[in-house]
């Protein structure tokens, strides 16, 4: 068993040059404090090539078991890095795991910087503590995407990875579906407004005002049968789940009204992501708009959506003509993308599916932000790349984003350790086995792993392909949105 070396209160370390690592400053000052239980808590910052600093934190228990867990956080959190799920960190330390996290050198959708920042922090850890016997990368939300990027960019630095509540179906795919949902809002609900869906106000700056406008219009539309039907149609274009709010009970299959309420909640979330600061910041990074709907047939998209029958029922109840609304969408001017911005978004990230280390994904079935569909699409990409034996996808039957219990987190970790110990998954990654491990873990929370087959993303865009009906040739140059009649093609 590997033992950590004694850590002084303040030490200066030289970061080793990680394999494939983006350049960082050579010297790193690390401040360490020993806790009463003997755990060493160390903080510092690595420096990226552009001079930006990435604060990091690692914690090493007195009796380290030799495994290091590299946690990638989600969202633009400006707080000091905390290396692990908050509901499990103390348990992991008690069980002998060392924990590490960087908070990244840049705000926002840091898929470009996050993986290298994590590896720079790993270099500091190895220089000061020692090389782990085993390194497992994991993280949730944005951190799940960054974990997937670490798998692709630094596979020789880790032994396994657990992307949680992730968007590994692809950044372009995710935001194209959000564009489809908000496009329906703009054309059928915000009929007296011309909402800015893309090419948002410059970031950093004021939050996009049309996101607030759209949210208010949805609230108004929810009060009428016609509005509720059109909300359902917009939600169907993103194929959002029908139980997304942890504060609500699961809607009954026959309760159309309760299911529609969940669709409204999911669409509000789509507006927040697809028209708000997340898109604004991503456009800033990408240098333009990276989403398009040229050549998208919304009648076909509805046929492929899992919510077609719900939409049809709500339209009938409202006395609305669904075909007429679909005709309006077909005739509406379309939105083209900036090819350079698409290239950036695909690079950060459109997965290749080529796996050199074992990967275990975990999603909730009712996540409106990181749809469970991402896992199925990622599974497809990995299979096409010939890496299927390296991947297992798991699902937790729960609403909300990253709403895993401590027992479920720990079960995922144990399942990955089984794969690393034995060289095969066996039955360990089945819902029954993972529930059994969670229930025996001794940590709080129910065990809710289930067999589940989510729908595929409606607009897949991975490293080797674009969305059906929206080939790359449909992308137009130019930073600003250009409205075009549906079906118009580029030369």
pLDDT in tens, 166-179: 999 999 999 999 99
Q: Domain check: are 405 and 446 in the same one?
A: yes
pLDDT in tens, 366-389: 999 999 999 999 999 999 999 999
DSSP state of 289: -
pLDDT of res. 78: 62
Q: Domain check: are 412 and 312 in the same one?
A: no
State yes or no: pLDDT of 454 exceeds 50: yes
The CATH number that applies at residue 404 is 3.40.50.1820
Q: In this predicted structure, which of 23-37, 192-206, 250-264, 333-347 has the lowest mean pLDDT?
A: 23-37
Owning domain of residue 48: 10-168+349-450
Q: Is residue 490 part of a domain?
A: no
Q: What is the mean pLDDT of residues 224-242?
A: 97
The percent of residues above 90 in pLDDT, for the chain, comes to: 82
204 preceded by cis ω (within 30°)?
yes
Higher pLDDT residue, 463 or 122? Answer: 122
Q: Is residue 203 part of a domain?
A: yes
Q: Domain check: are 415 and 333 in the same one?
A: no
pLDDT in tens, 132-149: 999 999 999 999 999 999
Going by pLDDT thresholds of 50, 70 and 90, the confidence category of residue 9 is very low
State yes or no: pLDDT of 456 exceeds 80: yes
State yes or no: pLDDT of 6 exceeds 70: no
> Which residue matches tokens 């149609």?
233
Rounded CA separation 478/339 (Å) = 8
Q: Is residue 289 part of a domain?
A: yes
Q: Domain check: are 152 and 282 in the same one?
A: no
The mean pLDDT of the chain is 89
Q: Domain check: are 466 and 444 in the same one?
A: no
Checking phi first, is residue 353 left (phi over 0); if not, alpha (psi -120 to 50) or beta?
Answer: left
Q: Is residue 5 part of a domain?
A: no
Rounded CA separation 36/212 (Å) = 49
DSSP SS3 for 476: coil
Q: Is the dihedral of CA 16, 17, 21, 22 positive or negative?
A: positive
| Closest C-alpha among 97, 107, 127 to residue 21 | 127
DSSP SS3 for 377: helix
Q: Domain check: are 380 and 334 in the same one?
A: no
Q: Domain check: are 371 and 335 in the same one?
A: no
Q: CB neighbours of 343 closer than 8 A, spacing ≥ 6?
A: none
pLDDT of res. 462: 72
Q: Is residue 4 part of a domain?
A: no
Q: Domain check: are 270 and 175 in the same one?
A: yes
Find the helix or strand (DSSP H, E) in which 120 lies: helix 114-128
Q: Domain check: are 181 and 50 in the same one?
A: no
Phi then psi for residue 165, to 5 deg, are 35, 55
Counting the structural domains of the chain, the total is: 2
pLDDT in tens, 311-363: 999 999 999 999 999 999 999 999 999 999 999 999 999 999 999 999 999 99
Distances (CA, A) of 440 to 110, 221, 392, 435: 36, 47, 22, 9
pLDDT of res. 204: 87
Q: Domain check: are 208 and 152 in the same one?
A: no
pLDDT of res. 463: 66
Query: What are 208's two structure tokens?
Result: 């996009």
Q: Domain check: are 311 and 397 in the same one?
A: no
Q: What is the mean pLDDT of residues 116-132?
A: 96
Q: Is residue 489 part of a domain?
A: no
pLDDT in tens, 245-296: 999 999 999 999 999 999 999 999 999 999 999 999 999 999 999 999 999 9
* DSSP code string of 383-415: HHTT-GGGEEEEEEEEESSS---HHHHHHHHHH
Q: Domain check: are 151 and 256 in the same one?
A: no
Q: What is the mean pLDDT of residues 430-444?
A: 96
Q: Is residue 148 part of a domain?
A: yes
pLDDT in tens, 53-88: 999 999 999 999 999 999 999 987 666 788 999 999
Query: What are 260's two structure tokens?
Result: 């529609």
Q: Is residue 134 part of a domain?
A: yes
Q: CB neighbours of 424 closer than 8 A, spacing ≥ 6?
A: none
Find the helix or strand (DSSP H, E) in which 397 lies: strand 391-399
Going by pLDDT thresholds of 50, 70 and 90, the confidence category of residue 15 is very low
Query: What are 414's two structure tokens?
Result: 């144990």
């Amino acid at each position: 068993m590997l033992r950590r070396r004694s850590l002084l209160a303040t030490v200066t370390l030289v970061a080793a040059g990680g394999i494939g690592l983006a350049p960082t400053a050579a010297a790193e000052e690390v401040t360490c404090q020993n806790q009463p239980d003997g755990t060493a808590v160390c903080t510092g910052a690595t420096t990226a090539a552009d001079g930006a600093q990435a604060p990091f934190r690692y914690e090493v228990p007195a009796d380290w078991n030799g495994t290091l867990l590299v946690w990638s956080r989600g969202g633009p959190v400006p707080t000091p890095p905390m290396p692990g799920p908050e509901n499990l960190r103390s348990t992991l330390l008690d069980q002998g795991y060392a924990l590490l996290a960087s908070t990244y050198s840049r705000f926002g959708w840091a898929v470009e910087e996050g993986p290298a920042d994590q590896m720079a922090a790993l270099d500091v850890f190895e220089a000061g503590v020692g090389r782990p016997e085993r390194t497992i990368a994991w993280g949730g939300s944005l951190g799940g995407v960054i974990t997937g990027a670490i798998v692709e960019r630094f596979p020789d630095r880790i032994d396994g990875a657990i992307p949680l509540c992730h968007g590994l179906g692809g950044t372009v795919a995710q935001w194209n579906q959000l564009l489809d949902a908000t496009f329906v809002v703009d054309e059928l609900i915000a009929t007296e407004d011309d909402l800015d869906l893309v090419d948002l106000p410059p970031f950093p700056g004021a939050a996009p005002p049309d996101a607030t406008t759209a949210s208010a219009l949805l609230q108004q539309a929810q009060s009428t049968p016609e509005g509720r039907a059109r909300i359902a149609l917009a939600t169907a274009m993103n194929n959002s789940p029908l139980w997304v709010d942890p504060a609500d009970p699961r809607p009954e299959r026959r309760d159309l009204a309760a299911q529609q309420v969940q669709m409204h909640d999911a669409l509000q979330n789509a507006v927040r992501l697809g028209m708000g600061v997340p898109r604004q910041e991503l456009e800033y990074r990408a240098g333009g708009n990276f989403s398009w709907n040229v050549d998208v047939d919304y009648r076909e998209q509805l046929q492929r959506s899992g919510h077609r029958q719900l939409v049809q029922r709500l339209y009938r109840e409202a006395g609305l003509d669904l075909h007429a609304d679909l005709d309006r969408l077909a005739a509406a001017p379309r939105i083209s993308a900036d090819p350079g911005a698409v290239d950036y978004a695909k690079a950060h990230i459109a997965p290749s599916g080529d796996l050199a280390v074992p990967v275990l994904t975990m999603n909730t079935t009712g996540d409106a932000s990181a749809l469970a569909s991402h896992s199925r699409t990622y599974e497809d990409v990995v299979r096409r790349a010939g890496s299927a034996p390296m991947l297992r996808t798991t699902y937790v039957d729960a609403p909300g984003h990253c709403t895993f219990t401590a027992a479920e987190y720990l079960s995922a970790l144990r399942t990955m350790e089984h794969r690393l110990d034995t060289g095969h998954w066996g039955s360990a990654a089945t819902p029954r086995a993972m529930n059994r491990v969670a229930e025996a873990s001794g940590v709080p929370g129910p065990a809710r792993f289930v067999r589940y087959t989510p729908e595929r993303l409606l607009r897949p865009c991975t490293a080797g392909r674009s969305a059906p009906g929206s080939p790359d040739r449909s992308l137009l140059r130019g930073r600003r949105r250009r409205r075009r009649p549906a079906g118009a093609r580029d030369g």
